[in-house]
Amino acid sequence: MADKVRQFTIYRIKNLDRAEQEYYRTLQRTLDKIENDVVALAGRELPTQKGKLIELQAAVAIRPKIRTILQTEFLGWADTVTKKGFNRQAKRIERAFRTIGNIPEEFLVLTKGDLELVKNLKLQTFTQFKDISNTFTKRLADKIYQDTLVGREFVELEKELRQTINGIYSKTNDKEAQKLVNFVKRNKNVKSMQSRVDKAVATLQSKFGRDRAGENMRRYSSQLLNDGLREFDAQVNAKKSLDAGLTHVKYFGDIIPETRRICRDVLSGVYRKRKSNLFTIDEVRKLWTQQSWSGKKPGDPLVVRGGYNCRHQWTYVNPDWYDANGQLII
Tens-digit pLDDT profile for residues 119-165: 999 999 999 999 999 999 999 999 999 999 999 999 999 999 998 99
**pLDDT value of position 275:** 87
119 Cβ contact list (under 8 Å, min separation 6): none
Q: Of 121, 31, 137, 16, nearest to 76 (Cα)? A: 31
**pLDDT value of position 116:** 96
**pLDDT value of position 206:** 59
Q: Please give the helix or strand (H or E) that residue 316 lies within, else none.
A: strand 313-317
Angle at 224 between CA 244 and CA 83, to 5 degrees: 60
In the predicted model, what is the mean pLDDT of residues 220-249? 94
**pLDDT value of position 210:** 40
Distance CA 179, CA 185 (A): 10
**pLDDT value of position 103:** 79
* Contact predicate 237/97, CB 8 Å: no
Name the region of 101 (left: φ>0; alpha: ψ -120 to 50; beta: rest). Answer: left
Distance CA 253, CA 298 (A): 21
Distance CA 280, CA 70 (A): 44
Distance CA 288, CA 326 (A): 23
Residue 244's CB is within 10 A of a number of other CB atoms, namely 17
Distance CA 116, CA 46 (A): 47
State how far Cα 257 lies from the chain centre.
Answer: 20
The SS3 call for residue 250 is strand
The conformation of residue 73, written as its DSSP 8-state character, comes to H
**pLDDT value of position 173:** 59
**pLDDT value of position 177:** 73
CA distances from 185 to 189, 190, 205, 216 (A): 8, 10, 15, 17
Highest mean pLDDT among 101-110, 213-222, 233-242: 233-242
Distance CA 197, CA 138 (A): 31
Rg (CA), the chain: 24
CA distances from 238 to 118, 246, 248 (A): 12, 9, 11
Residue type, 302: L
In the predicted model, what is the mean pLDDT of residues 232-259? 93
| Lowest-confidence segment of 24-38, 86-100, 235-249 by average pLDDT | 86-100
State how far Cα 229 lies from the chain centre.
Answer: 7
170: pLDDT strictly greater than 90: no
Residue 4 binned pLDDT confidence (cut-offs 50, 70, 90): confident
1: pLDDT strictly greater than 60: no
> In the chain, what's the furthest Cα-to-Cα distance?
81
Distance CA 161, CA 153 (A): 13
